Every structure is written in structure tokens, then in C-alpha cells.
Amino acid sequence: MGEAFSREGKFLYYPQLYDNGPDYYAEGLQRFVENDKIGFADKSGRKVIPAQWSFATPFNYGYAAVYTGSWKRVFEAGGEHWSIVADSGQGTTWLITHHGEKVMPLSAQQHPGDYYYDGKYYPYPFSYTAAEGQIVSYFRQLPLLQLIHKVNYADDPGNLQFEITEKPSALHPWYVVQGYLRQQQEDRFVFLVSRDGKKIYHAPFAGEKQQPLQRWIMAELQSCREYLREHPDAPFSFDVNKYAKEWQHRR
């Protein structure tokens, strides 16, 4: 879908079609198409994983599923959405890391954060320095994020899990902290953190403006206040005014 160019006007690659446009970046990587095969490029435009698969899913929780052999699209009613199925049993699939390496499933779960996919466990894919661990702990130990997330639910969806999915580079000098629910990305809960951990922003999505964490929290609390006013029996109600007072003057 479309073409990717460098700032100097050099053609880079053809992005994969997704959601009526070029593929989104997922955990810092975008799918591209070359000779009818799919690979992955990073935000600098480098093809970091060569195009070699019949199909591949976006990265999620440190892994992407890749497909080889013969596959076909099966369209849902209406023709807008489709899924991939093996054609005549000739297709195979497995998971790869951000380095394009094939990953073998574990014989049994070994870590609470191991990735559960298609009935099997795969190794917990994240590792951190001491400073990075402090960044992740900050989000994991911020109960307000869990309250904001759950307020609209009728049944308990479970707690968000936070992980660093991108680390600072010359072109993108931020840590990206991704929220996961049941090991699936939650687009509303993505944050940017400076190298020193002192500046935190809510990452913009679909045309939104980047906001400091405090401003985003206050806007979310206002939305929670309005929702709870309209739904006084909501099962995941909380004291919005208490947290608004606490966050009003935070930096």
C-alpha cells in the first residue's frame, strides 16, 4: 500500500496493506512487501528482517507469526476483513523474534510472563537494565492506570501489563512503554519516556496530540467522571476526585 521514501527522496520499500492504508508500526517495526514476500523495516527505513515469508502478522509481545508454503485469504461477509488459512494443508507457521530468529515453544511455562500463543508457551521476551527496570516498575505500580482502564467494563478484564517495546535511538530518542491486556497490545496505553526517565508523555495515536502524562491523566479522569455520573452502578467505580486532586499539580 503506497511507497516509503527517505527524506532525501530515495525509494525504500512497499508497505504491507493494513486497515485501508500502509501498515502501522508495531513495537517499532512495519511490514513491507518484496517479490510477493513479507519482511519487516524499522523507523529509519532499514529492512531489518528480509522479506521471506508468504505472510506475517504485526509484532505483539515481542513476537510475530510468520507463514511459509501455500496460504490463501478467506474473506468475511461483506468482503472488508479477511484471514489467512493454509491452502490444501501445504502451509506452516511459527514465531520469530525482533531479530528474525525462529523461536521454539517451551515444554512448560517457566516464567509468569511467558507468551501463551496457540496453546503453547514461549519464553518471556523482555529484558531490562536496572534503569529500564525502574521505568517499567513505575507503570506497573501506578494503580490509577488500572482504574482508568477498567472503569468502562462490566466484568473484570484483568490487569494491564507494561513492557518496554522500543529503546532510544538517534531517530527516536524515547523508550516506548506498551500496555498489554492478556498479552495483547492496548493502543490507549502507550507511553514515551525520556532516556533519563524524567519526562513521560502519552504516545499519540490516530491523529491525537502528544500529551504529558499528567495532562493525559487529568483528561482521562474527566472522562471517567462523566462515565460514572451516567453509570452510577458501574462495578469498577472509584473516587475520581481523590485522584484528580492528587494529580492536579504533578509534573
Closest among 19, 8, 18, 21 to 38, alpha carbons compared: 18
**Residue 72 C-beta-side C-alpha neighbours within 13 Å:** 6
- Please indicate, yes or no, whether residues 72 and 88 belong to a single structural domain of this protein: yes
- Please indicate, yes or no, whether residues 117 and 134 belong to a single structural domain of this protein: no
Cα–Cα distance measured from residue 190 to residue 142, given in angstroms and rounded to the nearest whole number: 14
In sequence order, the 6+-apart residues with CB closer than 8 A to the CB of 7 are: none
Phi, psi of 224 (to 5 degrees): -65, -40
- Please indicate, yes or no, whether residues 144 and 95 belong to a single structural domain of this protein: no
**196 Rama class: left (phi>0) / alpha (psi -120 to 50) / beta:** alpha
- Please indicate, yes or no, whether residues 104 and 207 belong to a single structural domain of this protein: no
Cα–Cα distance measured from residue 27 to residue 183, given in angstroms and rounded to the nearest whole number: 13
> Which range marks the domain in which residue 69 is found?
4-122
pLDDT at position 11 is 96
pLDDT at position 1 is 74
- Please indicate, yes or no, whether residues 137 and 102 belong to a single structural domain of this protein: no
Residue pair 206/195 in contact (Cβ under 8 Å)? The answer is no
Residue pair 238/220 in contact (Cβ under 8 Å)? The answer is no
Residue pair 191/203 in contact (Cβ under 8 Å)? The answer is yes
Cα–Cα distance measured from residue 132 to residue 151, given in angstroms and rounded to the nearest whole number: 29
- Please indicate, yes or no, whether residues 182 and 116 belong to a single structural domain of this protein: no
- Please indicate, yes or no, whether residues 155 and 234 belong to a single structural domain of this protein: yes
- Please indicate, yes or no, whether residues 46 and 106 belong to a single structural domain of this protein: yes
- Please indicate, yes or no, whether residues 205 and 114 belong to a single structural domain of this protein: no
- Please indicate, yes or no, whether residues 81 and 175 belong to a single structural domain of this protein: no
Q: What is this structure's pTM?
A: 0.90
pLDDT at position 80 is 66
Number of domains the chain contains:
2
- Please indicate, yes or no, whether residues 143 and 68 belong to a single structural domain of this protein: no
Could you report the average pLDDT of every consecutive run of 10 residues in the chain (251 residues)? 91 89 92 95 94 94 90 71 67 91 96 96 97 97 97 96 95 94 96 95 81 96 97 96 92 68
pLDDT at position 20 is 78
Residue pair 186/163 in contact (Cβ under 8 Å)? The answer is no
- Please indicate, yes or no, whether residues 114 and 154 belong to a single structural domain of this protein: no
- Of the residues 78, 106, 122, the one at which a domain ends: 122
* End-to-end Cα separation, the chain, in angstroms: 41
Phi, psi of 65 (to 5 degrees): -90, 130
